[in-house]
Amino acid sequence: MLDFLFYAGDERFGALGVSISAEQYVARATGPLPRLEDVAEIEQAVCQVMSGEPVAEEKRRLITPGATMGGARPKALLALNGQPWVLKFNEPGEPIDMSLVEHATMTLAERAGIRVARTLPVKVRHGHAVAVQRFDRVGARRIHALSANVVLKAAGEELGYPELAQWLRRRGVAAGGVHLEQMRELFRRMVFNILMDHTDDHEKNHALLMADSGEYELSPAFDVLPSGQALGFQQMRVGAAAADSTLENAPSESRQFGFKKGEAEVEIKRVCTIVAGWKEHFRHAGVSDTDIDLLTSQVDRPFLAGQRKKS
């Protein structure tokens, strides 16, 4: 573990790191983060890595800091306006510009009352990349972050949305009822994920940030986009019917999210209204009609569109 922290350097996710000095915290130097003007070279280096080609030594610095960020798609790190951002590229051979789709989905989620990480589409030679502002950094300050996988397993709980909501009730920021609002927001995220066919919502795609009080806050949503697999189930438990992706299952344990009778249904209708306009929103975000047509077969298939109309 210490070797991993050392070689990951100061740019790894979260606040833990290894110092090369015994007197003060000094992380292993990896050089300055690339900037927006380096994106074309970053894309070329990523393509070389993905195709198994060697990358020139002087170009490796452009992609090395992003190697520990996890996830399936190739990534790099950028410095934009003094803040660190994650730059995500499409996988080779993807038929859809998924980076632009991610930006469109994240901004749609924001309209549904979900706090999201800020995203910025970046034009590259092959479609787009998407820059996502890091929420575990504020300037040079590092924010301690834990995944839902860590906190739920440590608590001996099942990996589920209701369980995470209850963890927030116990360990979330209590002042001003923040934890209650975040429990309800988690419910909106779950419903949005169901309706947008985002079934890659596993426990490592939810994070908690430590506040100064030692309590935790739900991080902004990230990695939210249609999965395109039509699974019919989520990666985390939704309700009484386990992980089934239905709006009947979603409110089955609504009390676990802090709702009184009937309140969960109001939230479901709110999210349904926003998701119903996803095509127009995606077009406004620049997603092509071809890509929207391909996504329609998933997001608007009877299993999901029928549920929206009933709510």
Give the H/E segment covering residue 122.
Answer: strand 119-123
User: Cβ(283)–Cβ(289) under 8 Å?
Assistant: yes
| Percent of the chain surpassing pLDDT 70 | 84
Handedness of CA 238, 228, 207, 195 (dihedral sign): negative
Please, which pLDDT band fits residue 62 given cuts at 50, 70 and 90? Answer: low
Joined together, the tokens standing for residue 172 give: 């979330």
Among the residue ranges 19-23, 157-161, 170-174, 181-185, the one predicted with the least confidence is 19-23
Domain residue ranges of the chain, discontinuous segments joined by +? 2-138, 143-310
Please, which pLDDT band fits residue 5 given cuts at 50, 70 and 90? Answer: low
pLDDT digits (tens, 9 = 90+) for 251-303: 999 999 999 999 999 999 999 999 999 999 999 999 999 999 999 999 999 99
Residue 138 has pLDDT above 60, yes or no: yes
Residue 66 has pLDDT above 60, yes or no: no
CB-CB neighbours of 183 under 10 Å: 24
Residue ranges of the alpha helices (H) in 9-160?
39-50, 98-111, 148-154
Residue 34 has pLDDT above 80, yes or no: no
pLDDT digits (tens, 9 = 90+) for 95-119: 999 999 999 999 999 999 999 999 9
143-310: in CATH 1.10.1070.20: yes
Residue 189 has pLDDT above 70, yes or no: yes
Domain 2-138: CATH class, spelled out: alpha beta
pTM over 0.85: yes
105-142 burial code (b ≥16 CB/10 A, e <16): bbbbbbebebbbbbbbbbebeebbbbbbbbbbbeeeeb
CB-CB neighbours of 310 under 10 Å: 9
Of 88, 87, 84, which Cα lies nearest the Cα of 33? Answer: 84
Residue ranges of the alpha helices (H) in 112-225?
148-154, 161-171, 178-195
